Structures are given as structure tokens and as C-alpha cells.
């Protein structure tokens, strides 16, 4: 099993920059964090691997946020414990049978985590750019597997029987200036 320890903001900013989505003061960090966590969950889906994404925070204490994926954990640092410190400690604590991949482009964190004797674990360094390339390759492969004549994905196919027809009728009523059936 592989455990990815991810320097959250380091990866987030590299991803936003790589996708030319305009990093800067106007960026919605909450939205970008959610987007990154969703991508991590997708990337880890179907594997036994797991990811621990750690973001710096100005909170008084360390917080853990639950995610939609059982193999992706998200932590927010605190005033006393930075994301780098949390990643360092996690690298030392993980089990010996796990391969640790630390995803960061932060030079100081790399030097600390990759020094000899980190809990006797195999530790692999992966820059944010390398990990982004893996995310993109994975997304491309998923798209290729799910596109084709045999796979048709429509919202209507996921709805309970009768719901699509009810929604069509509601739309038609609204387009003709009537309220929903029974509101006249």
C-alpha cells in the first residue's frame, strides 16, 4: 500500500498555475481546496492506496475534516503545527509495510522528510508537477474508459422512474408562464 502525504497548498497552487486558472488574491481557496480533494478522491478511487492532504491554517488547534472518500483524509494545521510539521510526523509514524510518497515542491520539507532514518520506511519524493502529471494521466484514462458507444451517461438514466417526465412537465409549465401543476 502507498500513502501519499500531500502538502496541500503547495500542490493546490501548482495545480492552479498549471491549469492557467489565475492564482492570486481573487482566488476562491475554499473552492480550490474542495476541487483538489475531489480530484484526490477520484485518483485514489479503486485502489488500496490512500492520501493525506495537509493544509496550513490559522486555527488555534489541529483539525481533521472528513471527506467523501474513505481513503482520503484532510487535515488543517494550526498556529502551533504547520502542514510541514504534520507531514514530517506522519512520515515517521506510518507503518513499515507502507510506501510513503511525499508530494511537495517545498525544498525545506523535502530535506527534512527525505533525510536518512525516517521511521525505516521507503520514502519517495514527488514534486507537485510530477503528481499533477499523474492526476492528468489518470483523468485521461478514466475518460477513455468511460467514453464509447457502449457507455451512455445521462442524468435521466440515474433518476427514479417518472421523475424525468415530472421535471419535463414542470419545465414546460414554467416556460408557458404557469406555475407547477396544481398551483393555478
Rg (CA), the chain: 22
Contact yes or no for 98/1 (Cβ under 8 A) = yes
pTM as predicted: 0.68
Cell triple for 131: 503528481
Residue 180 has pLDDT above 80, yes or no: no
**In angstroms, rounded to a whole number, what is the distance separating the alpha carbons of residues 41 and 104?**
18
**In angstroms, rounded to a whole number, what is the distance separating the alpha carbons of residues 13 and 65?**
20
pLDDT tens digits along 144-161: 555 554 445 566 666 777
Percent of the chain with pLDDT over 70: 71
Cell triple for 162: 417518472
125 bridge partner residues: 102
pLDDT at 95: 65
- Overall average pLDDT of the 66-90 stretch: 81
Structural domains of the chain, with CATH: 2-146 (3.40.50), 154-184 (no CATH)
Regarding predicted confidence, which is higher, 30 or 155? Answer: 30
Laid out side by side, the sheet with 72-76 consists of 63-65, 72-76, 50-55, 2-7, 99-103, 123-126
- Overall average pLDDT of the 78-82 stretch: 77
**In angstroms, rounded to a whole number, what is the distance separating the alpha carbons of residues 95 and 108?**
24
pLDDT at 15: 92
Residue 25 has pLDDT above 60, yes or no: yes
Band (168; pLDDT cuts 50, 70, 90): confident
**In angstroms, rounded to a whole number, what is the distance separating the alpha carbons of residues 109 and 41?**
24
3-state secondary structure of 108: helix
Q: Which DSSP category does 148 fall into? A: B
pLDDT tens digits along 103-147: 988 776 766 666 555 455 667 888 999 999 998 887 666 555 555
Among 50-54, 91-95, 97-101, 179-183, the range scoring the smallest mean pLDDT is 179-183
Quote the mean pLDDT of the chain: 78
Contact yes or no for 156/164 (Cβ under 8 A) = yes
Amino acid at each position: 500500500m502507498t500513502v501519499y502525504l500531500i502538502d496541500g497548498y503547495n500542490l493546490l497552487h501548482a495545480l492552479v498555475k498549471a491549469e492557467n486558472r489565475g492564482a492570486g488574491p481573487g482566488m476562491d481557496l475554499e473552492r480550490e481546496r474542495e476541487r483538489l480533494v475531489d480530484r484526490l478522491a477520484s485518483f485514489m478511487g479503486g485502489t488500496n492506496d490512500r492520501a493525506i492532504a495537509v493544509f496550513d491554517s490559522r486555527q488555534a488547534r489541529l483539525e481533521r475534516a472528513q471527506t467523501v472518500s474513505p481513503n482520503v483524509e484532510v487535515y488543517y494545521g494550526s498556529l502551533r503545527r504547520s502542514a510541514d510539521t504534520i507531514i514530517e510526523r506522519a512520515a515517521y509514524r506510518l507503518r513499515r509495510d507502507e510506501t510513503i510518497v511525499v508530494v511537495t515542491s517545498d525544498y525545506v520539507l523535502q530535506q527534512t522528510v527525505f533525510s536518512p532514518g525516517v521511521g525505516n520506511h521507503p520514502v519517495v519524493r514527488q514534486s507537485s508537477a510530477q503528481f499533477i502529471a499523474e492526476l492528468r494521466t489518470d483523468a485521461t484514462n478514466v475518460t477513455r474508459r468511460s467514453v464509447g458507444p457502449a457507455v451512455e451517461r445521462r442524468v435521466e438514466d440515474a433518476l427514479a422512474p417518472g421523475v424525468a417526465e415530472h421535471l419535463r412537465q414542470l419545465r414546460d409549465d414554467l416556460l408557458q408562464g404557469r406555475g407547477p401543476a396544481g398551483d393555478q
